[in-house]
Amino acid sequence: MGMLEHKLGVVFGIANKRSIAWAIAQAWAREGARLAFTYQGDRLKDNVAELARAFGTETLLLPCDVTKDDDIARVFEDVRRELGGLHLMLHSVAFAPKEALEGRFLNTTREAFRIAHDVSAYSLVALARAAAPLMTEGGSIVGMSYYGAEKVVPHYNVMGVAKAALEACTRYLAHDLGPQRIRVNCISAGPVNTLAARGIAGFGAMLRHYEDHAPLKRNVLPEELGATGVFLASDGAAAITGQVLYVDCGYQIMGM
């Protein structure tokens, strides 16, 4: 008997098989959850459809640009009609314009700041507001963060500020939704080699830096993020809300 038997979930942020969202979705499904997937833009549709097929042909697959209120409304109308309720939601979505992740934070434009916060932080608020009415039996909302939210990671720049906002949003949402037994937490993952990490200058060096400095002397594996996702979704985490859980091989505890 899986830990998430009879749970219904919706997953935002799968781009391909390396996505953290895919690792967590697979883990949720393995524990018995029934999932709907969203994808951003036609470019990713075939990718996500191919992955979703692993769970059978009737898996609900919906387009969603999280910066569009109409898209969000339609996703949750479709989830209500097709799944009939909701217990789990994964938010694994972030974007900042590439130029903003190079050079000095000082030079962040108003537009890059706006986009990073809209896509990466406000979207959690909008999605949680739309999901909550469907979570009539309580629920678990999980977001993804990164250490750059609390300490300066060179070049993470405006994404660090947006992740700080995401973590604060997690706490305020946890307060608002707690009375409805909806928990809101985020996982702060160590670096993972995903599409979003590709093309970031020095990412290979960052992975080696973690291997050298994290207490566990290695990087986190996608399946370990999946296991933490299962824990946060499960009754084992029934009293945990508003938290940031570090799943980073211990890197965050180090002072030097």
Look at the block and give the residue holding tokens 């969603």: 64
The nearest distance, CB 234 to ligand 0WE, in angstroms, is 25
To the nearest 10°, report the CA torsion of 27, 28, 32, 38. -120
Site map 74..113 versus ligand 0WE, x via CB under 6 A:
--------------------xxx-x--x------------
Q: Count of CB atoms within 10 A of residue 40's CB?
A: 21
> Using the rule CB under 6 A, is 27 a contact of ligand 0WE?
no
The number of residues that bind ligand 0WE (CB under 6 A) is 15
> Using the rule CB under 6 A, is 12 a contact of ligand 0WE?
no
Instruction: Kindly name the residue from 39, 147, 156, 251 that is annotated as catalytic.
Output: 156
Look at the block and give the residue holding tokens 């979505």: 93
Contact region with ligand 0WE (CB under 6 A), list: 35-43, 72-80, 151-159, 240-248? 151-159
Candidate residues 24, 64, 184, 196; the one interacting with ligand 0WE per rule CB under 6 A? 196
Instruction: Kindly name the residue from 39, 146, 147, 251 that is annotated as catalytic.
Output: 146
Positive or negative: CA dihedral 56, 59, 63, 66 = negative
227 vs 4: CA distance, rounded Å: 12
The nearest distance, CB 215 to ligand 0WE, in angstroms, is 18
> Using the rule CB under 6 A, is 200 a contact of ligand 0WE?
yes
CA 69 to chain centroid, in Å, comes to 19
Per the annotation, the verdict on 146 as an active-site residue is: yes
What does the binding site for ligand 0WE look like in residue numbers (CB under 6 A)? 94-96, 98, 101, 146, 153, 155-156, 159, 191, 196-197, 200, 206
